[in-house]
Amino acid sequence: MNSQIMEALQWRYAVKQFDTQKKVSEADWKVLAESLRLAPSSYGLQPWKFIVVQNPSLRAELRKNSWNQSQVTDCSHYVVLTTRTKMSEQDVQKYIAKISQVRGVPQESLKGYHDMMIGDVVKGPRSEIIQWWAQRQAYIAFGFLMETAALMKIDTCPIEGLEPKAYDQILKLEGTGYATVAACAVGYRHRDDKNAQAKKVRFDAQDVIEIR
């Protein structure tokens, strides 16, 4: 497994040109979707929603608000990462109900956990930075999506160069409590994509990993 992981990490790059003819299969997509859904998040709260935009006219609109990057329209699956703009008591309650259901424990037994979350993300200091907190969580899932894809020899291009407010309008997110933070184009590289040959640029290990 170690060498397969190393190979995938080296093989991955931010695709510039996707092959419009090659689509991710339904079976492969399920694994990618599960890697988003099963990603960890703070408290397990999953303050996210992933919107997979497959409609060509929606894609065209989004591309206009993404510096006209061709990946938006040319990839197989276009995943928009959206996150909670604030966390409410209902958000926490929904999660508590899910824990209770999945683990078969009474909700009352989760009161301590419930109150801890309320005291942090709803009413505590974290509530003031909740947008950024939620975005951080979504980027864990973002990482899971890209690594999973690379292991499956499926390409991706992470996209932060987009207008979040325009995305929110196009995707009708206003008033839903979710807002766009980034997107990920998923598919297969075009054989002419020169970026595939460019050497990966990373700082040396000793510059970014320090042992104390």
**Contacts with 27 (C-beta within 8 Å, 6 or more apart), sequence order:** none
Among 20, 22, 140, 193, binds a second copy (CB under 8 A): 140
Residue 203 touches a second copy, criterion: CB under 8 A: yes
- Under rule CB under 8 A, which residues in 40-59 are in contact with a second copy? 40, 42, 44, 46, 48-55, 58
Shorter beta-carbon distance to a second copy: residue 2 or 108: 2
- Under rule CB under 8 A, which residues in 60-89 are in contact with a second copy? none
Q: Rounded to the nearest 5°, which phi and psi values hold at 207?
A: -85, -20
- Under rule CB under 8 A, which residues in 86-115 are in contact with a second copy? 94-95, 98-99, 102-103
Q: Cβ 192 to a second copy, closest distance in Å?
A: 19
Rounded (5°) CA angle 16-46-145: 25
Shorter beta-carbon distance to a second copy: residue 72 or 141: 141
Residue 166 touches a second copy, criterion: CB under 8 A: no
Shorter beta-carbon distance to a second copy: residue 108 or 211: 211
81 membership: H or E segment, kind and range: strand 77-84
Residue 118, CB-side half-sphere exposure with 13 Å CA sphere: 11
Between CA 167 and CA 179 the distance in angstroms is 8
**Contacts with 175 (C-beta within 8 Å, 6 or more apart), sequence order:** none
Residue 191 touches a second copy, criterion: CB under 8 A: no
- Under rule CB under 8 A, which residues in 145-164 are in contact with a second copy? 146-148, 151-152, 158, 160
Number of residues that bind a second copy (CB under 8 A): 72
Shorter beta-carbon distance to a second copy: residue 139 or 169: 139
Closest alpha carbon to 46 in 152, 178, 176: 178
**Contacts with 49 (C-beta within 8 Å, 6 or more apart), sequence order:** 82, 83, 178
